[in-house]
Amino acid sequence: MERRSVRHRRAAPSVWEGLRYRGGMGQWAWVLHRLSGLGILLFLVLHVVDIFLAAFGPEVFNKLLFLYHSWVFRPFIVLLVFGVVYHALNGLRLVIVDFWPAANAYQKPMWIGATALSLGVTAISILAFFWEG
């Protein structure tokens, strides 16, 4: 067996290794919180761009609107509704847990409530989108 000089491996686990950890509900609540946050940021950038285009007159702006009305884009709007509501409600859960240590005992039911409410609002938004379309 050939001996080699000892190299110290990077101790920090990768994101992939982290995601493979079988954490509890809290870990997935957190992952979803991060993903919804990134999704909202992505939409905000897009939104800033479309509002910026409005400065060039209604024709240019209207040309871009086809994007939001297309069937390809619709699922993303539904996802955005879920993302915004989930991020807000789960954020409230985190604030409550942060400021009232006793609320730690209720973090799981609070997450279930936040997620159920987010899904409910998303379901209603799907109906609304179909109604309009």
Partner 1 sequence: MEVRIRIQRYNPEVDEKPHWEEYTVEVEPTDRVIDALHQIKWFQDGTLAVRRSCLHGICGSDALVINGRNRLACKTLVRDLGKVITVAPLRGFRVIKDLVVDMEPFFRKFRSVMPYLVNDERPPAHERLQSPEERARFDDTTKCILCAACTTACPSFWADSRYVGPAAIVQAHRFIFDSRDQAWRERLQILNENTGVWRCRNVFNCVEACPRDINVNKAIAEVRQALITGSRGLPLEDDEVH
**Residue 27 sits in the site that holds partner 1 (CB under 8 A):** yes
Place of tokens 């995601």: 19
User: What is the amino acid identity at position 80?
Assistant: L
User: Is residue 17 a contact partner of residue 67, using CB atoms and an 8 Å limit?
Assistant: no
**Residue 132 sits in the site that holds partner 1 (CB under 8 A):** no
**Residue 1 sits in the site that holds partner 1 (CB under 8 A):** yes
Q: Which 100-119 positions form the footprint of partner 1 (CB under 8 A)?
A: 100-102, 104-105, 107
User: Is residue 78 a contact partner of residue 125, using CB atoms and an 8 Å limit?
Assistant: yes
Q: Give me the least distance between CB of 121 and partner 1, in Å please.
A: 23
Q: Which stretch binds partner 1 (CB under 8 A): 1-9, 41-49, 52-60, 78-86?
A: 1-9
**Residue 3 sits in the site that holds partner 1 (CB under 8 A):** yes
Q: How many chain residues interact with partner 1 (CB under 8 A)?
A: 33
